[in-house]
A and B are shown apart, each in its own frame.
Chain A
Amino acid sequence: MAQVTGTLIEGKPIVDITLADALPAPPEVSSVSEVNSFSVRQYRALLDTGADITCICEHAVRESGLKQYGFERMIGAVGPSLHETYIVKIGILLGDSDDADRLINGLFQLEPLVAAKIKDNKWFDLIIGTDILRNHEFALTRGGGFRLELFG
């Protein structure tokens, strides 16, 4: 079974993920043959059952060179706000997220999805919302841990 387990960090369930634009940028027209670049980076993502959609912090958008596709209206404590949206591929690293030396147990690749840009914070780089979580099983476990079971 595809699964991620871990310990809450400052009360937050956080997993390691990979992030890339769903569509690689077209190559520049040039007389020199060149490989089309396709950036995949690793980040930390909060599992947030209170968020309707997946969100990406500004620095991760910038570093990953994501192409904007539109906007999303979002509601927060200070009222509505407008956020840039991207279409991205996210992979979730499987295994025990507490084990810093763990061998990669595999990567669960999610279908390309729309994610909204949010401001940076000190805890994580992305939020995985209920747009993803509703297709899987997420639970807090006794002793301050969490478990995410992923279904293909």
Chain B
Amino acid sequence: MTHPATSELHENYLFFQRSVAKFVNEHRGQYALLHAQSVIAFFDKPIEAALAGASQFPDGKYSVQKVTDRPADLGFMAYGAGDRNPD
């Protein structure tokens, strides 16, 4: 059985990927706090988003995503395998 918080992370990610084009102009490089497939707020630092999430959602059902439309380069591990894309 999938843990509720894990399901929340996945659903928030899918929402974020669908919506990120709307956010990149104003918030590129910031960190979005997400809950229930919506953006709660943007923060300059990931720890600020995590602290706000822990404070507002003590059940842990929130996620933090960096606002970017570009995939990160794996560097040394580029020739290894990662987790395959579930979407």
Measured CB to CB, the closest approach of chain B to A26, in angstroms, equals: 7
Whether A70 contacts B64 by the Cβ 8 Å rule is yes
How distant is the Cα of A85 from the Cα of B13 in the complex, in angstroms?
11
Using a Cβ cutoff of 8 Å, how many contacts connect chains A and B?
124
Pick the most buried of A48, A87, A116: most chain B CB atoms within 10 A of its CB: A87
Whether B66 contacts A118 by the Cβ 8 Å rule is no
Whether A117 contacts B83 by the Cβ 8 Å rule is yes
Q: Does A121 contact B (CB under 8 A)?
A: yes
Chain B binding site: helix, strand, loop or mixed by DSSP? mixed
**Chain B residue with minimal CB distance to A113?**
B46
In the complex, which range does the number of interface residues on chain B fall in? 35 or more
Whether A112 contacts B83 by the Cβ 8 Å rule is no
Whether B74 contacts A114 by the Cβ 8 Å rule is no
Chain A 73-115 interface 0/1 with B at a Cβ cutoff of 8 Å (1 = within):
1111110111111010000000000000000000000011110
Whether B74 contacts A26 by the Cβ 8 Å rule is no
**Chain A residue with minimal CB distance to B60?**
A67
Whether A70 contacts B63 by the Cβ 8 Å rule is yes
**A51 touching B6 in the complex, CB below 8 Å, given contacts A22-B50, A23-B50:** no
Whether B64 contacts A87 by the Cβ 8 Å rule is yes
Whether A82 contacts B85 by the Cβ 8 Å rule is yes
Pick the most buried of A84, A114, A116: most chain B CB atoms within 10 A of its CB: A114
**A114 touching B66 in the complex, CB below 8 Å, given contacts A74-B73, A82-B85:** yes
Q: Does A60 contact B (CB under 8 A)?
A: no
Chain A residues with CB under 8 A of B4:
none
Q: Does A50 contact B (CB under 8 A)?
A: yes
Measured CB to CB, the closest approach of chain A to B42, in angstroms, equals: 14
